[in-house]
Structure 1
Amino acid sequence: MLPEDVRALALMLPEAVAGVHKGNPDFRVGGRIFATLWVEEARTVLRLPPSDQRRLVEAGPDLFSALPGAWGRRGWTSLDLDPCDEASLRDALLTAWRATAPAGLVSAYDPA
């Protein structure tokens, strides 16, 4: 996958907007970052619940890795774009969006 794919898929999510965090493109919902794109490194960093982080790292250790230190313990996870397929990227972005978006927006998107 390419950085352009991350941008396109992230901005398809409800109320997602593009921004910049420390010089890197990011994607936000409700004013909070759910993904940051590291273009030169061909990776994106996602805000995931720790349980989802564990699930994704275990299922795809060649794609996903927890960030070092406290950031990783809080669920921030790196996704390597080079070997990533569209389904994995979509799943990861949606998981990060759901973890970050206001509850009312998530429930409107995912009615029970």
Structure 2
Amino acid sequence: MATVDDVRALARTLPRSSEHLIRDRVKFRVGQIVYVAFSRDETTMGLAYPKEQRDALIAGEPDLFFLPEASDLRYNWVCCHLARLDRDYLEELVTEAWRMVVPKFLARQRLGS
């Protein structure tokens, strides 16, 4: 099971990433762009994800992933249940969400191609 502390530990290693508490919700962002946000009870997590690919992601793992609220469907965003997410998959998802919001040169420096 993944936790906010797992994300926090990973986010500390990602350049330009910062943690914020906004309306009682933990969020991680680069500049003003949020790339990971937790529900108030910290049972679900939303993260940056290409909206063109999210339907396939949800269809492939419907017990893990779900759509954001209707008002957020226009954004590159998907949500997941933390209790069903292992730490390795969490690391992959959070790193890719971070990659979406940082300059390309920075992502290349950190992650390679």
Same fold judged by TM-score > 0.5? yes
8 Å contact from structure 2 (residues 58, 65) kept in 1:
yes
Corresponding residue for 2:3?
2
Q: Provide the secondary structure at the position in 2 that maps to 1:82.
A: helix
Partner of 1:108: 109
1 CA distance for matches of 2:103 and 2:19? Answer: 17
- Identify the residue that residue 19 of structure 2 maps to in structure 1: 18
CA distance 1:48–1:87, shift in 2 (3 Å)? same
Q: What 5-or-longer segments of structure 2 have no aligned partner?
A: none
TM-superposed CA distance for 1:24, in Å, is 0.8
CA distance in 1, matches of 2:107, 2:22: 24
Q: 1:59 to 1:12 in 2, by over 3 A?
A: farther
Q: Which amino acid aligns with 2:51?
A: P
Give the Cα–Cα distance (whole angstroms) in 1 for the partners of residues 112 and 5 of structure 2.
30
Give 4+ residue runs of structure 1 displaced > 3 Å after superposition. Answer: none
TM-score (norm 1): 0.82
Whichever residue aligns with residue 23 of structure 2, its letter is K
TM-score, normalising length: structure 2:
0.82
2:92, 2:52 → 1: CA distance? 14
**Identity across aligned pairs (percent)?**
27
Distance 1:26 1:95 in 2: 16
Q: 5 Å matches for 1:63-102? A: 63-102=64-103
Q: How many residues align?
A: 112
Name the Cα RMSD after superposition: 2.0
Give the superposition deviation at 1:111.
3.1
